[in-house]
Chain A
Amino acid sequence: MKGYFSYLLVSMLQLGLMAQATDLLGGHCGKLGFGAVLAAGVAGYAYAISTVVFAAPILWALLVALVAASLLGIVLSHTIVALHPDAYLLASFAFQMAFIEMMNNVDWSGGPLGLRQIPSSVFGGLAVEATTSSFLFLIISATVGLLVLVSGARRESGVARAHHWIRDDILSALASPLDTRSIMARACLVHCILGGAAGVGVVIAQGYVAPRTFDLGLSLKVLTVVVLSGVGGSPFLMLLGSAILVLVTELASFAFTAPEAVGPLQQVLVSSVLIGFLVFRRRGIGGPVLESGPSSELFE
């Protein structure tokens, strides 16, 4: 039972961290997409390949994973972040699909079966089980992430106002002396590092990685948490949203269905929550009412 609760806690932290990353770029900068899950996949695979294929020490593997996520952030910020929001969503989706397809077809990533027996039992010199070590890693990442996001998201913070200006009125932001390119690049970098940290947490907790670990199902789950919590809302709400979603999907596993139908039932439930909130309450639990204009005025 103790193991089950720690599994739930780890799932909540993983989803919450990815949702925070998605909301930073989607809710605050107006570019909602699948970049966080892509970064999670890249960092997760980087960690797995470093430890399993190259037998690197865990701390080195963690470093490699975070560098890989940062590099992805730089690539994304120079290629697709400047696109129109709809085009950004599709382009990030295309990047994610390309990544999954590549991992499915190349030998060094283990192909469709992925990589197994990823070492995770030693964390910072302490011998602990996989769930605990994932929990430790995720809690550190979530705390650092929250500190960064909360300090950036404060109402009086210049960074938050600049993000909201870009989100609400991109034309006037481009015409202003604001360096929109570097602001978006930094946001994209933080977005990918947070997503990458969550990805490493997922891989440590599961002990294996496969292309299906970071597929469309996970992306939809993350988007559901963001929409449920409120797009552009507080970073703390993302943790609350992930807790609600994890509990609701876990309750579905107690439904009177065949064991093999539990996974699809959970996915149907997640999709229904996402559609329901987008149709009936787009603000989610505590998201702001998005308007055009006021953020730029506040900044000036």
Chain B
Amino acid sequence: MWLQLALDTTITWLLYSLAASGFHLASTCCRHFAFAAGMAFITAPLLLWSTLGWSGMSLSAAIALGSCICLGAGYCRLAAVLRVKGCRGTQLLIISLALLAASENLAIMLTGAASVSLWDKPSAVVLSTDRLVITRQLLTVLVSCAAGVLCLWLVWSRSLLGIALRALFESRWNLALRGYNVRLLETIGTAFGFGILGVAGILWASLLRVRPVMGFDIAVLGVAAVLAAPLIKPGFPGVVWSCMGIVVIRLALSLYFDGDWNLTAILLFLILIAAFTAPRAVLRQISAAQ
């Protein structure tokens, strides 16, 4: 039982990390909590599900991810235009929430409220013992998620795009003064973030099922990761550690209580982070003063 639990928790952690990284990237590049990024999480699997019937797997995946990337670029431009028109942060946040709610309800109208499965047949079992059952689907998702998180870490720490994004996170004014096209970088970053969320959505739906309302849960997770990441370690590593914390609390809650405690785990994690990091910040201030 424990081995199976450990495996499931690892997969959930990797999936959360992938999704929260996408949300973090999109939110930082759009300069507000981009709840609308949750649209990519539902659009990609729904598009894949609806196009699989008449096209191959690769073409369907390309259509799904391409749509998410276009959606991200479009959203970033819309946010920029609205900011120029004088929209405040709160108003952009509300627009973002309303866009997510509208897209979820549109998805319900088009596909129905019930969840759908991406695959027709049950997955083949790769390994089956008393303590552990691994299906091909589970293994594929685990490997894909691990590869995705590793790729993101490499892009973040080694590539030119990663360096530019880190600089954007630190100070967009500094970057602009050095002659970088900040607007383009923000658009690329948002599109990339929506794309990552699309991939996470497809992997999530492969393992579970496609639910038209699953974008909201992931947006809340993303907000928590964006809030907590700077308190742990800025940027991508902070997001991954935040997701680890959320998954551990969720596991503890599910072991001791019945019911679905996803949102409670996220809120508890935020409270714990705030409680533990605030005294540390005060101590840092005192030592700096001395």
Contacts and interface: CB of A to CB of B under 8 A. Distances in A.
A261 interface: yes
A89 B270 contact: no
A98 B82 contact: no
Contact of A104 (B33, B109, B260): B260
B106 interface: yes
Contact of B87 (A98, A272, A278): A278
Interface in B86-119: 86-91, 93-95, 97-99, 101-102, 105-106, 108-109, 112-113
B259 A271 contact: no
B266 to A, nearest CB: 9
Contact of A105 (B32, B87, B259): B259
25 contacts: A32-B90, A32-B94, A85-B88, A86-B32, A86-B89, A90-B223, A94-B267, A94-B270, A97-B220, A98-B264, A101-B261, A101-B267, A105-B258, A216-B97, A216-B216, A217-B101, A227-B94, A260-B112, A260-B113, A261-B108, A264-B106, A264-B109, A265-B105, A271-B99, A271-B105
Interface in A32-83: 32
Given A98-B263, A101-B264, A271-B98, 18 more contacts: A32-B90, A85-B89, A89-B90, A89-B94, A90-B227, A97-B263, A97-B267, A98-B264, A100-B263, A105-B257, A105-B264, A216-B97, A227-B94, A260-B113, A264-B106, A274-B94, A274-B95, A275-B95
Interface string A191-219: 00000000000000000000000001100
Contact of B267 (A98, A216, A267): A98
A282 interface: yes
B105 A105 contact: no
B260 A275 contact: no
A271 B101 contact: yes
B221 to A, nearest CB: 12
Interface size class of chain A, counting residues whose CB lies under 8 Å from the partner chain: 20 to 34
Contacts of B216: 216
Contacts, number: 92
A282 B87 contact: yes
Contacts of B93: 86, 89-90
Contacts of A278: 87, 91, 94-95, 98
Given A278-B95, A279-B95, A104 B259 contact: yes
Interface size class of chain B, counting residues whose CB lies under 8 Å from the partner chain: 35 or more
Contacts of A17: none
Given A90-B223, A278-B87, A268 B109 contact: yes
Given A94-B267, A97-B263, A278-B91, A261 B101 contact: no
A27 B223 CA distance: 25
A220 interface: yes
A97 B35 CA distance: 15
A223 interface: yes
B217 to A, nearest CB: 10
Contacts of B262: 101
Contact of A267 (B88, B89, B102, B220): B102
Contact of A85 (B90, B112, B259, B270): B90
B106 A86 contact: no
Interface of A: 32, 85-86, 89-90, 94, 97-98, 100-102, 104-105, 111, 216-217, 220, 223, 227, 257, 260-261, 264-265, 267-268, 271-272, 274-275, 278-279, 282
Given A278-B87, A282-B87, A105 B261 contact: yes
A267 B105 contact: yes
Contacts of B223: 90
Contacts of A264: 105-106, 108-109, 113
Interface string B155-181: 000000000000000000000000000
Nearest to A273: B98
A217 B98 CA distance: 9
A138 to B, nearest CB: 26
Contacts of A261: 108-109
A258 to B, nearest CB: 9
A227 to B, nearest CB: 8
Contacts of B32: 86
Interface string B212-237: 00001000100100010000000000
A220 B105 CA distance: 13
Contact of B101 (A86, A216, A260, A265): A216
A229 to B, nearest CB: 15
A264 B258 CA distance: 30
Q: Indicate the member of B32, B88, B93, B97 with the most A CB atoms within 10 Å.
A: B97
B97 A86 contact: no
Nearest to B106: A268
A97 B217 CA distance: 11
Nearest to B258: A105
A217 B260 CA distance: 20
Contacts of B90: 32, 85-86, 89
Nearest to B107: A264
